[in-house]
Chains A and B, each alone.
Chain A
Amino acid sequence: MPIGDTIEIDLSRGIIEKREGDLALVRDYVASKGTGTRILWDRVPPEVDAFAPESTFIMSAGVLTGTLVPGANRLCIVYKSPATNIHCYSSVGGFLGTALKRTGYDTVIVSGKSDTPVYLYINDDRVELRDARHLWGHDTRQTESLIRKELGDQAEVLSIGLAGENKVLFATAEHGAGDCAGRGGFGALMGDKNLKAIAIHGTKDIPVADTERLFDICNYILSRTHGARKGILDPAGYTFVRTFLRWADFRNFGGIVQSPEFQEEIKNSGPLTQAFIERTREREVACANCSLRCKHAYRNTDGTYVYHKCAGFYYAMFTSQILKPEFSLACKTLFERYGLDIYSTGDSVAFAIDLYEKGILTREDTDGLHLEWQNPDVYLALVHKIARREGIGDVLANGTYRAARQIGKGAERYAFTAKKLELHMNKIYHRYHMALSSAVCDRGDMTKLDSGTAGQMPRRPLSEREAYIKDGWFHYPDSYKKYFLEEGADAYGNSSIEAQASYNSYDMEQYTLADLSGICMFWLEFWMWPTINSRAMMADLMTAVTGLEIDEAEATRIASRVISLVRAYSVREGLRRQDDFDSVPKHTFEREPRPPERKLEPDTLDQLLDKFYEIRGWDRQGIPTAANLEELDLGFVREDMERRGILEGKS
């Protein structure tokens, strides 16, 4: 079967080693997040700090990446996050993954710290560390174009900007048309290693095992993309505007309270934003082999271009309370160039303004800057300070969790994080599936579990749900139809505990398979219309490409293995049930929802967690049991955990 080779790089000693791909690893973990986590388990135990020289990250392409499979382009980067101190991974789109596959390698292991700035260049068989002193201090777009001048236009580049160089704990690594390793601070890890960029150019064939089978499935998938497109966006941008309004409402329940006037302004700004999008959006742009093209190119007033996708468009608008889309574009441009996570940065700035308003931060703390909402100069000044770690920016650059503890004076109350990561977007958690997604998500960022079907469908009329099944969009096992058709969901779409926990658990497997295969999650059920719509199809695709017989049951087993391994990794770092529980912000239990919506009670969350852990084979603390680990061939994990006294109960 076609498997790629592995490169191992020690930045401290400048050593590059190559070795053949490991078939056993592929059988058990497939690729990507699976392989990466397996390697991370051995290399980065709790004794190794995220910023220690021994700290290692693993880049691994999805097993379908670069083949004909639509949307299969992901490159997964697995590491211990310096922000959350637990397992973290970033799934990078664009053309990095396909480029890596074409070099003949599919996994790259990087450890150590370089004395001076370097960048890694993988050019087919030639792998080298090149001097990057002349690139240090340049923004991500400049870095990419300078590297392409050196290496040629074909090189695909992932680079950090000032934020990564300064180890801002939510720094990103950026690539091409608006893609990045976004959440969890991978940019800071690169910066700490003095690794300015990774450039890849490959010219080799990407072979597949069973050609006819693959081609047929791909044709079928393409014939159904209208479903996913319908969910993601429509040409006029109406979905975005509508969604924007909904989120705006959500945000009101959040920590950063918006005035009624502002709420009103939000409502009125919908049409304006839409008109702006129609005027300014120049192109729909896509990652490799993707027909969904969810990224949009916008022209800035200075003639440069910036790429936006999904919720990112609105984040600066929310967190600044400046409802001008042109401001949002300017911010996105800045974030991208500095290499800053759009969500964590927005939250951190808003957090600072919020604290200032409450008197917890004063002018003395802010170098004389008077912080206020709706002031573009203040917002941008804070972004600059964060990226450069200047003044208050040096504190905020540690993320709101740590910043709140550094600032003290009750600031903790206003920091909303899940496992130390700023909470993305929806700050209302009365929806069971969102609460549970946020609670059990492996990196604290729920987006990868935000199941459209579980969340939206139950409150739709029965006839609509029946039609959904009839039209072939229902991708859960047949046994789930009873949940799907069950009556009695509340105004949030909450149905029974068992139903919601089952959906979440199944979705977690499905998204894990997406990661292993390298398929962008937008092709799955994220927006309710899953073009790649069954476990069987995922298994078929993997089989066709690898030639290994992976059936539905085996795919599920592999996904379960990876999920338990990831969980065990973070448990070994100290993660427990309470961290899951606290990933649903407390104000969920404090604030009253609007009737007829019902409040999520702490007790309900507990029941959801119990059920979810039970389905996954974990104990009441959310720790995979010895039996679960054995069953999934994770004996080495069980031994390690027992040695550390984590598995006492042996339940």
Chain B
Amino acid sequence: MATRKIKYINIDADKCSGCRLCESICSASHADPPYSLVNPGRSRIRVFRDEDNDVYIPVLAGPYTDVECLGRNTVMVKGKEYGECSFCRASCPSRDLFREPETDIPLKCDTCESINSEPLCVKWCLSKCLTFEEVEEEVEEETPAAA
């Protein structure tokens, strides 16, 4: 048995203020050159919001998928129904979310590894809705790490 470090970004949606600073800093920090622009459309985290129902949920970009789901479910939050896609993390052909605007390249949260930084959205989220945690977990040596 070996251990490896797993990075977690935990979301406490009750603390989300909907400020979207996370979107801004993510898109800015991953821009080329760094910080030369802000565009939530390039962010690897997006905040779903519904002001009328007081729902604010940050969604971190997850794996890419080349086909959309076959079945669709619905999600109830505070008694109101939302489409499942609302909170889905996938970069998926059914929508524009989590794909670079011009190039269509899928976006995925890399916990800011590609820019050699601590997760910046976490750092800039002063409401502490996002928190970061690194956990040592045991892995079986012969199993390749899941993506």
Contact = CB atoms under 8 A, between A and B. Distances in A.
A286 B38 contact: no
Interface string B53-75: 11010000000000000000000
A68 B43 CA distance: 13
A305 B20 CA distance: 20
A68 B52 contact: no
B56 A283 contact: yes
A285 B35 CA distance: 26
B14 A141 contact: no
B19 A177 contact: no
A299 B126 contact: no
Residue in A66, A145, A285 whose Cβ sees the most chain B Cβ within 10 Å: A285
A291 B56 CA distance: 15
Contact of A288 (B20, B51, B124, B127): B20
Given A283-B56, A303-B79, A291 B35 contact: no
B18 interface: yes
Nearest to B28: A68
Interface in B15-67: 16-21, 24-25, 28, 33-39, 41-42, 51-54, 56
A204 B53 contact: no
A282 interface: yes
Nearest to A203: B41
B17 A293 contact: yes
A497 interface: no
Given A68-B25, A141-B52, A305-B53, A293 B41 contact: no
A68 B51 contact: no
Contacts, number: 87
A289 B19 contact: yes
Residue in B18, B25, B34, B126 whose Cβ sees the most chain A Cβ within 10 Å: B18
Contact of B126 (A66, A222, A282): A222
Residue in A205, A282, A288, A293 whose Cβ sees the most chain B Cβ within 10 Å: A205
Contact of B17 (A95, A205, A207, A285): A285
A34 B1 CA distance: 66
B119 to A, nearest CB: 15
A120 B19 CA distance: 25
B39 A206 contact: yes
A304 B52 contact: yes
Nearest to B22: A289
A297 interface: yes
A214 B37 CA distance: 11
A283 B54 contact: yes
A215 B31 CA distance: 13
A225 interface: yes
Interface string A202-239: 01111110011011000000100100000000000000
A12 to B, nearest CB: 33
Nearest to B34: A211
Contacts of A185: none
Interface in A260-310: 282-291, 293, 297, 299, 303-305, 307
Q: What class of interface size applies to chain A in its complex with B?
A: 35 or more
Nearest to A298: B54
A102 interface: yes
B37 A205 contact: yes
Nearest to A290: B19
B52 A305 contact: yes
A176 B51 contact: yes
A67 interface: yes
Contact of B38 (A68, A70, A225, A303): A68
Nearest to B25: A68
A206 B41 CA distance: 11
Contacts of B34: 211, 215
A351 to B, nearest CB: 32
A267 to B, nearest CB: 32
Contacts of B37: 205-208
A304 B50 CA distance: 12
Given A304-B52, A305-B51, A291 B33 contact: no
Interface string A492-510: 0000000000000000000
Given A289-B24, A297-B54, A305-B52, A204 B39 contact: yes
Contacts of A286: 17-19, 127
Contacts of B28: 68, 215
B19 A211 contact: no
A70 B24 CA distance: 10
Given A203-B41, A222-B126, A283-B14, A215 B35 contact: yes
A205 B37 CA distance: 6
B14 A205 contact: no
A462 B9 CA distance: 46
A284 B14 CA distance: 9
A293 B38 CA distance: 21
A521 B34 CA distance: 28
Nearest to A66: B38
5 contacts: A68-B24, A177-B51, A203-B39, A303-B79, A305-B54
Return the 3 tightest CB-CB contacts between A and B, nearest first. A211-B35, A286-B19, A291-B126
Given A289-B19, A305-B53, A307-B51, 6 more contacts: A66-B38, A205-B39, A283-B16, A286-B127, A287-B19, A289-B20
